[in-house]
């Protein structure tokens, strides 16, 4: 997906696919530039407020970032019996870190993002995303490739959350969606650990990447549970996958989820609840069929490339 400004600078063009473009009325541009790794824009839209845009793709908006980040973090944190050590790959806005630190059990949260400039921009310009989470004493923040970090550091984690940008060709995250990377992640999990992965668009006409990521994780982990939620600023349904050797979040009842939220989480959640959890893991038949039919396994030699 590419994006651009029109000649008058009044609209933000969000190209969702080669055949579909959405125009967002633009109020102002807070930042536009390029880091060592990617193009960065922070824009204020009339549709979803301030948005972080990387390589032309909206990563999150102030209007609904809570939906994406709560969906990515809480299902796997809640199913774990006592998550203390958490690793976050990516997560530049600090919002994934924010949701992890909402769990009272967490003693250590390691966040590794390759792009220090993006994190610094988010720290300065997107305070409602991170809400001071970068300064929490439980946080360890490193600027490195997450795969390299896990290769060089042998410590194990209870939960690993993969919150990466899309696997664009030539982008910084392309080799963090492969079977080889997921094997490495598995090695860095405790025996009762679990991971969650942002797994791309899950819209009816665009399920290829979601299905391939889910199938690749299935080739590594015995328990693999794809799930979805609607994210308005993404203009549709977004996919995630939870994977583990032992833990199955789809088995939790709504009551169990709500009880654990009350016991474990500080503050109020805006989206995630027992009923939300049940809905996310209840996939429509067309998605189930696509997942069942997919044979693609993403590898270092044949990585996936998102549009």
SS3 content of the chain, % helix, strand, coil (to 5): 35, 35, 35
Helix ranges (H only) for 84-207 are 95-101, 116-125, 127-130, 146-152, 179-187
| Catalytic pick among 135, 163, 192, 248 | 163
Q: Are strands 39-45 and 139-143 parallel, antiparallel or unpaired?
A: unpaired
- The gap from C-alpha 265 to its chain's centroid, in whole angstroms, comes to 20
In the chain, where do the E strands start and end?
A: 3-5, 11-17, 20-34, 39-45, 49-54, 57-61, 85-90, 108-113, 139-143, 157-163, 189-201, 223-231, 236-244
CA 247 – CA 195 distance, rounded (Å): 10
**Does residue 163 have an active-site annotation?**
yes
Neighbours of 19 (CB within 10 A): 7
Burial readout 195-225 (b: 16 or more C-beta within 10 A, e: otherwise): bbbbbbbbbeebbbbbbbbbbbbbebbebbb
Task: For residues 167 and 306, give the distance between their C-alpha atoms in angstroms, rounded to a whole number.
Answer: 5
Active site positions, annotated:
163
């Amino acid at each position: 997906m590419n994006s651009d400004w029109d000649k008058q600078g009044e609209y933000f063009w969000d190209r969702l696919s080669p055949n579909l473009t959405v125009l967002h009325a633009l109020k102002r541009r807070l930042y536009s530039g390029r880091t060592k790794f990617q193009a960065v824009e922070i824009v204020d839209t009339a549709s979803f407020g301030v948005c972080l845009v990387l390589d032309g793709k909206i990563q999150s908006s102030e209007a609904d970032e809570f939906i994406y980040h709560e969906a990515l973090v809480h299902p796997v944190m809640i199913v774990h019996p006592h998550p203390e050590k958490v690793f976050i790959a990516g997560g530049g806005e600090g919002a994934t870190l924010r949701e992890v630190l909402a769990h009272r059990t967490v003693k250590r949260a390691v966040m590794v993002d390759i792009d220090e400039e993006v994190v610094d921009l988010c720290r300065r310009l997107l305070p409602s995303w991170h809400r001071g989470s970068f300064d929490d004493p439980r946080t360890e923040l490193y600027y490195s490739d997450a795969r390299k970090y896990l290769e060089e550091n042998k410590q194990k984690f209870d939960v690993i959350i993969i919150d990466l940008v899309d696997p664009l060709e030539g982008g910084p995250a392309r080799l963090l969606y492969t079977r080889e990377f997921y094997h490495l992640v598995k090695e860095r999990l405790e025996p009762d650990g679990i991971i969650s992965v942002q797994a791309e668009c899950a819209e009816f006409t665009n399920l290829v990447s979601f299905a391939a990521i889910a199938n690749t994780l299935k080739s590594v982990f015995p328990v693999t549970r794809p799930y979805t939620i609607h994210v308005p600023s993404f203009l549709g349904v977004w996919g995630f996958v939870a994977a583990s050797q032992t833990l199955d979040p789809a088995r939790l009842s709504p009551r169990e989820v709500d009880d654990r939220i009350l016991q474990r989480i500080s503050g109020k959640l805006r989206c995630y609840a027992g009923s939300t959890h049940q809905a996310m893991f209840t996939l429509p038949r067309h998605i189930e069929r696509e997942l069942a039919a997919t044979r693609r396994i993403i590898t270092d030699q044949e990585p996936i490339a998102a549009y």
